[in-house]
Structure 1
Amino acid sequence: MAISLAPAALERVQGFLAATPGALGLRFGVKRTGCSGWSYVVDLARDERPGDVVSEYAGVRIFIDADSLPMVDGTEIDFHKQGLNEQFLFRNPNVAGECGCGSSFTTDADKAA
């Protein structure tokens, strides 16, 4: 499993972790939603859940549920600020298509189903 954090995302996540006592790391996964099928879920991990796969990148522990792992494996998470707007961006090699607004995606496995 390989989830990586671009320098800006790493700095942002480290800041969140430093400001949140008890946080164990970053929780990253997907949920079914949107017009294309899947949307990213990013939060601070406050516990380790049964079935979590845990990896580490530059000292940040990343918790991924087993169901999400095939859809996010290989993703690089980045963070961009432009004016007043801030957002995490995802470079996911598993994405086969995205909706027009960019909030959800499909994978090749979805197309085959």
Structure 2
Amino acid sequence: MSAINSSQLQINEARKQVITISSRAAKRIKELLAKREKQSLGIKVGIKTGGCSGYSYYIEYADVKGDFDEVIIDKGVTVLVDQKAILYLVGTTMDYIEGKFNSGFEFSNPNEKHRCGCGKSANF
């Protein structure tokens, strides 16, 4: 695990950004990070096996950077992308939706081949 340095950021800026963060998602991430008692680098996003369609997205606080995590800074928010998820997430937009009965982060991913009916998992 390592800290984020400026040379890594310059390399990452030269490539296409893996994930784009919407203004609503950035606002909610900032709120969550501000409420957390422990200092974080930002959030970490990835995929894991599970759910109806085979894979589900995960979001967690990022306390350390993995050696091969992709670092994205978008709208003032630092997002680390798990190295195993990078190819699956290229071109994804992360948004935050607030509904009357349900609120949460939502991923719009052009790499999805199928999404289950409940919307919680996808196949790539």
Q: Which has the higher strand share?
A: 1
Percentage identity across aligned positions? 33
Cα separation, 1, equivalents of 2:70 and 2:18: 11
Match of 1:29 in 2: 46
Q: CA deviation at 1:84?
A: 3.9
Q: Which runs of 5+ in 2 are unaligned?
A: 1-16
Amino acid in structure 2 at the alignment position of 1:34: G
Once superposed, what is the RMSD of the aligned Cα atoms? Answer: 1.3
| TM norm structure 2 | 0.80
Alignment: residue pair count: 107
Match of 1:46 in 2: 63
| TM norm structure 1 | 0.87
1:79 is the counterpart of 2:96: yes
Match of 1:96 in 2: 113
Q: Which has the higher helix share?
A: 2
Q: Which runs of 5+ in 1 are unaligned?
A: 108-113
After TM superposition, the runs of 4+ consecutive aligned structure 1 residues lying more than 3 A away are none
